[in-house]
Amino acid sequence: MTEIGTTVLGYPRIGPDRELKRSLERYWAGKIAEAELLDTGRALRTRTWRELKDAGLDSVPSNTFSHYDQVLDTTELFGALPERFTTLGLSPLDAYFAAARGVQDAPAMEMTKWFDTNYHYIVPELGPDTTFSLTGTKPLDEYREARAIGVETRPVLVGPVTFLLLAKAAESAPEGFRPLDLLDNLLDGYVELLRRLHDEGVEWVQFDEPAFAADRTEQELNALIRAYHRLAKETTRPKILVAGYFGGLGRGLGVLARSPIDALAVDLVTDESFADAVAAEPALRDKEVLAGVVDGRNVWRTDPTRALSRAATLLGTAKSVSVSTSCSLLHVPYDVEREDGLHPRLKGWLAFAKQKVDEVVLLGRALTEESVDLSAARTAATDRATAADLADAGVRARLEALRPEDTVRSPYARRAVAQQDALGLPPLPSTTIGSFPQTTEVRKARAAHKAGSLDDAGYEAAMKAEIEHVIRLQEDLGLDVLVHGEPERNDMVQYFAERLAGFAATDFGWVQSYGSRCVRPPILYGDVSRPEPMTVEWARYAQSLTTKPVKGMLTGPVTILAWSFVRDDQPLGETARQVALAIRDEVHDLQEAGIRVIQVDEPALRELLPLRAAAHEAYFAWAVSSFRLATSGIDDATQIHTHMCYSEFGEVVKAIDALDADVTSIEAARSKMEVVTDLGAAGFGRGVGPGVYDIHSPRVPDVDEVSGLLRTAVGAVPAERIWVNPDCGLKTRGYAEVEPALRNLVAAANAVRAEL
């Protein structure tokens, strides 16, 4: 075989029934031995390779398995785990897990989002004295393992430039050090790996370079040139495929086309216009191009007509064109066939990983042979495109009738006075972000209700008891704005998706988020509306228990989209407006029910930020206006809060300001309040609650620590605008830590208040 042919760039690895998750968690809990964990992995790999081969792919990827994360695998492969994990006397596997998860004496490596997906990778920590050398054998082992069962594979590796661009400078590194400075040394390691793969008989190897779907400097593009000239110049090497995905490659396209690699995989889904750029690239004429026309990130069945025409655009340009996925299938669930709970018609529009492999095979044949029957795929595409019941005329008419003033509140100064009159809060008011610890009893009650063994009345009583407990606790602690604690919510997006029209839920649609953690995103397939109030009764009940204001708690439109699989037949901004309208109805009803403070969480505002700066403005325009649509049209005296976390704020400060929320609470404890300085500098002029209690750790901060953070905040932003709150919701914590921590938080607020 000289060509790659039809293939997928990667595959899910957590297991169709989350076998790897279960095995990992049992191993970490000391319940199974290492050998059993390794067996689970082997069984999953074997199954995947066989399936991919039997489905008829020309080339099957390997080394797409991981016990935790492919970036951490790469760090380990080249002997670059930080010393704090390798000197603990642990087995290699345990040192690897220690790096991912932390142990008592060695805090975990940082974890962050993999580009604009909801997958998270472990960030390499590098310094000038890092030396890479090929100490691991994982890609070789997996290749051999697959060959032993009769499957010839193409090892997949994180590309050297992307690896370094994703890394960060270790804390000990001198000012000015950049991980990219280590490129030559890292390339030595990759050269050695290529040599060994070649000796093993590997024909093709895949290097992933998604970092070039984002804006890159001249220097970074030069690194790309250097890397692939160096690797390709080796004579004893497999053929090299470079995969650039999560968008068009920009100037990276020309660089890769002109480098002496053998094949290039391009994403023709994220940015449709990229197909024209690829078609116009003359330097591709000596290369195989993999046309990524099957969406690796979303769950919709591919429209064969559009996919083929896009792939066919490249036919005259490249030496040969094959069909592939736009990116790894890691980001979609395994198999839609198992979803018996889905409406059959909707199911017919969906393709999960297994179905996407079949699509690739079929489209690959259709591109080269004439006589391929695409009628089933065409019918599905037409059925979805013409499905009248996706459109909700009422929703569309309401959106059409909106006037600009419907998304604008009166000036903040006026609102602030009205709100102060209504709420009468002290300076530095204290509150929490919404959820309280989800105790075993709460989880049990929810599960029993879902399973039908606890009836509606019993469930309601259990939730009300929990709400009452949370209200009494907050009164006792002396917090100023209370919450009901969110005991009824399984998840902040799923809860709303289950109550909104236009969404469907899956039974087995799990996707890896990080390590053993998986999420099951809802599917937003049609026009969205709110058949009835979703949170009002719980909020009303909570408010009836206390004279202090209770804050209503909602999830914002951007976050609902970010954590769902969203329809791709209309612009995201359009869908966001529909979700916003439904949230707006809820905001209105909460106000009617006597709720005077309403929080609309947008923790994913940063997550959907496009990789290229040129697209930021358009994104902010719809993201901001959907939030404002959701939160306008109410009384001046009703106070709107929003909450954000997991975020680097630099690029989004302006957008946060534009949301026009009365109060914004943000993660800040770990960064020692840096964000407040940023906001102050940006002229952010409304209420702000920088988190003073890091809820991602079981540590209880003492009064001095919290007051110290508060004083920093008071120094950067006028005191009358500061709120006192934790970093995020408390649902993953236990009462044993939460109670003393909140007690200290209130004491600190009192102490600093007295100094004003």
| Piece of the chain touching ligand MET by CB under 6 A; list 81-89, 130-138, 284-292, 723-731 | 723-731
Is residue 721 within 8 A of residue 682, CB to CB? The reply is no
Residue 384 makes contact with ligand MET by CB under 6 A: no
CB of 729 to ligand MET, least distance (A): 2
Residue 122 makes contact with ligand MET by CB under 6 A: no
In this structure, the number of other CB atoms found within 10 A of the CB of residue 584 comes to 27
- How far apart are the C-alpha atoms of 232 and 2, rounded to whole Å? 16
What end-to-end distance do the CA atoms of the chain give, in Å?
Answer: 76
Q: Which DSSP symbol is given to 701? A: -
Distance of alpha carbon 271 from the chain centroid: 19
Is residue 503 within 8 A of residue 524, CB to CB? The reply is yes
Residue 186 makes contact with ligand MET by CB under 6 A: no
Is residue 425 within 8 A of residue 722, CB to CB? The reply is no
- How far apart are the C-alpha atoms of 234 and 225, rounded to whole Å? 15
DSSP string across 57-72: -SSEEES---SS-HHH
Q: Are strands 501-504 and 523-529 parallel, antiparallel or unpaired?
A: antiparallel
- How far apart are the C-alpha atoms of 615 and 626, rounded to whole Å? 17
- How far apart are the C-alpha atoms of 202 and 396, rounded to whole Å? 55
Of residues 159 and 485, the one with the C-beta less far from ligand MET: 485
CB of 168 to ligand MET, least distance (A): 23
- How far apart are the C-alpha atoms of 293 and 269, rounded to whole Å? 6
CB of 105 to ligand MET, least distance (A): 29
Name the residue number minimizing CB distance to ligand MET: 729
Nearest to 392 by CA among 526, 564, 496, 567: 526
C-alpha distances out from residue 18 to 23, 24, 40, 333, 508, Å:
9, 10, 11, 11, 9
Of residues 524 and 666, the one with the C-beta less far from ligand MET: 666
Residue 504 makes contact with ligand MET by CB under 6 A: no
Q: What angle do CA 65, 69, 75 make, to 5 degrees?
A: 110
Q: What is the identity of the amino acid at 497?
A: A
Residue 727 makes contact with ligand MET by CB under 6 A: no
Residue 509 makes contact with ligand MET by CB under 6 A: no
Is residue 565 within 8 A of residue 524, CB to CB? The reply is yes
Catalytic residue among 469, 588, 616, 696: 696
Identify the residue among 75, 463, 729, 752 touching ligand MET (CB under 6 A). 729
CB of 251 to ligand MET, least distance (A): 36
Of residues 158 and 695, the one with the C-beta less far from ligand MET: 695
CB of 418 to ligand MET, least distance (A): 25
Give the binding-site size for ligand MET (rule: CB under 6 A): 13
Whether 696 sits among the annotated catalytic residues: the reply is: yes
**Positions 601 through 640 that interact with ligand MET (CB under 6 A):** 601, 603
Of residues 239 and 731, the one with the C-beta less far from ligand MET: 731
CB of 531 to ligand MET, least distance (A): 23
Of residues 604 and 717, the one with the C-beta less far from ligand MET: 604
CB of 176 to ligand MET, least distance (A): 35
- How far apart are the C-alpha atoms of 158 and 114, rounded to whole Å? 12
Is residue 387 within 8 A of residue 356, CB to CB? The reply is no
Is residue 572 within 8 A of residue 566, CB to CB? The reply is yes
CB of 700 to ligand MET, least distance (A): 19
Identify the residue among 492, 661, 717, 745 touching ligand MET (CB under 6 A). 492
Is residue 576 within 8 A of residue 623, CB to CB? The reply is yes
Of residues 77 and 668, the one with the C-beta less far from ligand MET: 668
Residue 731 makes contact with ligand MET by CB under 6 A: yes
Of residues 492 and 630, the one with the C-beta less far from ligand MET: 492
HSE-CB of 601 using CA atoms within 13 angstroms: 26
**Positions 637 through 656 that interact with ligand MET (CB under 6 A):** 643, 645
Of residues 508 and 563, the one with the C-beta less far from ligand MET: 563
Q: HEC string of 419-468?
A: HHHHHCCCCCCECCCCECCCCHHHHHHHHHHHHCCCCHHHHHHHHHHHHH
CB of 645 to ligand MET, least distance (A): 5
**Positions 538 through 577 that interact with ligand MET (CB under 6 A):** 553
Mask for 342-381, x = binds ligand MET (CB under 6 A): ----------------------------------------
Mask for 425-444, x = binds ligand MET (CB under 6 A): --------xxx---------
- How far apart are the C-alpha atoms of 214 and 610, rounded to whole Å? 8
- How far apart are the C-alpha atoms of 298 and 520, rounded to whole Å? 13
Identify the residue among 109, 688, 728, 746 touching ligand MET (CB under 6 A). 728
Residue 460 tokens, joined: 């309601």
Of residues 329 and 582, the one with the C-beta less far from ligand MET: 582
- How far apart are the C-alpha atoms of 630 and 118, rounded to whole Å? 24
CB of 400 to ligand MET, least distance (A): 32
Which residues of this protein are in contact with ligand MET, per CB under 6 A? 433-435, 486, 492, 553, 601, 603, 643, 645, 728-729, 731
Which residues participate in catalysis according to the annotation? 696
